[in-house]
């Protein structure tokens, strides 16, 4: 029998806060975490801003100092957000460790470790490279570390699909529990990619906003006619997904029910989405079909909304093609506040989606001033959060290489 899946815990580290309680009110208030990069010299870079995590210390989560030194930054983010999600859920993993899994992904992994090791290689030779370089840099290490720190012994994997990684992780965790192969799964994504190589690479690809270095709060402008590129972000977003009967039996708080997941490929281009969002539209249809919902049932969409020309255009066309150009659905991109966290974006936006369904407060799209005449004019929830009834909500994620992933959550009812 197919199991129902609910969300009983949420956790995050991001540019607006190191916990859900810290970041959520700031997100709703329209604050942004985007600022000048200070961790390395950016004077030679065209883009000099990012949404960096601030005042973070993994020791605050009870992680042993010796252990923390063997974790790269993205791993530490994943562990902190996962421990928060577990605590929030109230689930005792030690009572049933083999029934709890971990699917925590990263698009890039420990890039700063690779850069440091390369400098060591050139300056001091291979004998001076740390024996922990490999386990600190590979993308699956976050999932492994979360398992070690929480004691979860069920399914353990990492999905790497660029900026769709976190959403695919939550979707696959949903399917795993639905099939009865786990009682609960920690799922989401983590990324710490604000490094010289990554910044330089995206600058070279001309995908970053470089016209607002002196006004970082206005740099990311999703869906606005003046948008000029995305802003890098970092952090983690983790959900504790649980089989419904388990949650009810222990009287757990339920944020939302996970009801739909869609995953498709564009088969089109290494970076550009398929024209008119063809692949995205198929994924949306797939998620709605699994959820047993119609477009009219969706009250809110957390858009991928990167503030890049083609993504915003094609995503809007995909939404309008399915929901209608006159749809009343509220749409927002939260990347104006949190930056684009690449492999962590989908996990973080899943946390936002769960909180939106729970609170019926919709975060805004920052810096939306001028409608773009080149695509349908939808309700992008400009600049201020709004309240409305949220029966069901959807999150979109699209990654380089043509990876599309969609999640649908709805208000929980027995």
Given pLDDT bands bounded at 50, 70 and 90, which one contains residue 151? Answer: very high
Distance CA 347, CA 376 (A): 27
Q: Which residues are known catalytic residues?
A: 163
Question: What is the per-residue DSSP string for 138-160?
Answer: STTHHHHHHHHHHT--S-EE---
Residue 194 has pLDDT above 80, yes or no: yes
- Between the two ends of the chain, the Cα-to-Cα distance in Å is 17
Residue 166 has pLDDT above 90, yes or no: yes
Q: Would you say the pTM of this structure is higher than 0.95?
A: yes
Q: What tokens appear for 204 in the block?
A: 């070279």
Question: What is the per-residue DSSP string for 174-219?
Answer: HHHHHTTS-SEEEEEEEE---SHHHHHHHHHTT-B--S-TT-GGGS
pLDDT, one tens digit per residue, over 53-100 is 999 999 999 998 889 999 999 999 999 999 999 999 999 999 999 999
Residue 244 has pLDDT above 80, yes or no: yes
Residue 18 has pLDDT above 90, yes or no: yes
pLDDT, one tens digit per residue, over 283-333 is 999 999 999 999 999 999 999 999 999 999 999 999 999 999 999 999 999
Residue 123 has pLDDT above 80, yes or no: yes
Rounded to 5 degrees, φ, ψ at 248 are -70, -40
Domain ranges of the chain: 5-249, 262-410
Rounded to 5 degrees, φ, ψ at 116 are -65, -40
In this predicted structure, what is the pLDDT of residue 45?
Answer: 98
- 3.40.605.10, 3.40.50.1820, 3.40.50.300, 3.40.47.10: which CATH number matches 262-410? 3.40.47.10
Architecture per CATH, 5-249: 3-Layer(aba) Sandwich (3.40)
Residue 1 has pLDDT above 80, yes or no: no
Per DSSP, 103 falls in state E
Residue 264 has pLDDT above 80, yes or no: yes
In this predicted structure, what is the pLDDT of residue 116?
Answer: 97
Q: What is the mean pLDDT of residues 276-284?
A: 96
User: Which residue blocks in 324-375 are alpha helix, DSSP H?
Assistant: 335-338, 345-359
CB atoms within 10 A of CB 82: 31
Q: What tokens appear for 409 in the block?
A: 């959550």
CB 411 within 8 A of CB 392: yes
In this predicted structure, what is the pLDDT of residue 321?
Answer: 97
Q: What tokens appear for 60 in the block?
A: 């605050």
Same topology, domains 5-249 and 262-410? Answer is yes
In this predicted structure, what is the pLDDT of residue 85?
Answer: 98
CB 395 within 8 A of CB 167: yes
pLDDT, one tens digit per residue, over 362-396 is 999 999 999 999 999 999 999 999 999 999 999 99
In this predicted structure, what is the pLDDT of residue 182?
Answer: 98
Best CA proximity match to 255, nearest among 244, 268, 270 = 244
CB 187 within 8 A of CB 5: no
Question: What is the per-residue DSSP string for 388-409?
Answer: ---SEEEEEEEETTTEEEEEEE
pLDDT, one tens digit per residue, over 101-117 is 999 999 999 999 999 99
């Amino acid at each position: 029998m197919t199991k129902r899946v609910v969300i009983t815990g949420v956790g995050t580290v991001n540019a607006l806060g190191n916990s859900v309680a810290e970041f959520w009110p700031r997100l709703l208030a329209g604050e942004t975490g985007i600022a000048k990069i200070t961790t390395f010299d950016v004077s030679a870079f065209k883009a000099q801003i990012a949404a960096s995590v601030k005042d973070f210390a993994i020791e605050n989560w009870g992680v042993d100092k010796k252990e923390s030194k063997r974790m790269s930054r993205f791993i530490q983010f994943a562990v902190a957000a996962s421990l928060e999600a577990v605590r929030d859920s109230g689930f005792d993993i030690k009572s049933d460790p083999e029934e709890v899994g971990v699917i925590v992904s990263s698009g890039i992994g420990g890039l700063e470790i690779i850069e440091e090791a390369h400098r060591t290689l050139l300056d001091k030779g291979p004998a001076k490279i740390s024996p922990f370089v490999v386990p600190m840099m590979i993308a699956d290490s976050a999932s492994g570390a979360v398992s070690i720190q929480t004691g979860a012994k069920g399914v353990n994997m990492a999905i790497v699909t660029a900026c769709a990684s976190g959403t695919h992780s939550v979707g696959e965790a949903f399917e795993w529990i639905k099939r009865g192969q786990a009682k609960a799964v920690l799922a989401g994504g983590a990324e710490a990619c604000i490094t010289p190589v990554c910044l330089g690479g995206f600058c070279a690809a001309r995908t970053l906003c470089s016209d607002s270095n002196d006004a970082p709060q206005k740099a990311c402008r999703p869906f606005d006619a003046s948008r000029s590129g995305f802003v890098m972000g970092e952090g983690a977003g983790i959900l504790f997904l649980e089989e419904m009967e388990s949650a009810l039996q222990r009287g757990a708080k339920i944020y939302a029910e996970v009801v739909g997941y869609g995953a498709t490929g564009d088969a089109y281009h290494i970076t550009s989405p398929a024209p008119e969002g063809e692949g995205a539209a198929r994924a949306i249809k797939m998620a709605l079909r699994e959820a047993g919902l119609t477009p009219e049932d969706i009250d809110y969409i957390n858009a991928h909304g990167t503030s890049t020309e083609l993504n915003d255009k094609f995503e809007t066309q995909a939404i309008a093609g399915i929901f209608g150009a006159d749809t009343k659905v509220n749409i927002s991109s939260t990347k104006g506040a949190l930056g684009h966290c690449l492999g962590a974006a989908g996990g973080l936006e899943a946390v936002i989606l769960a909180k939106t369904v729970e609170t019926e407060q919709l975060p805004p799209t920052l810096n939306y001033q001028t409608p773009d005449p080149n695509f349908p004019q939808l309700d992008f929830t400009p600049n201020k959060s709004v309240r409305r009834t949220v029966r069901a909500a959807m999150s979109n994620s699209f990654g380089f290489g043509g990876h599309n992933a969609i999640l649908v959550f709805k208000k929980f009812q027995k």
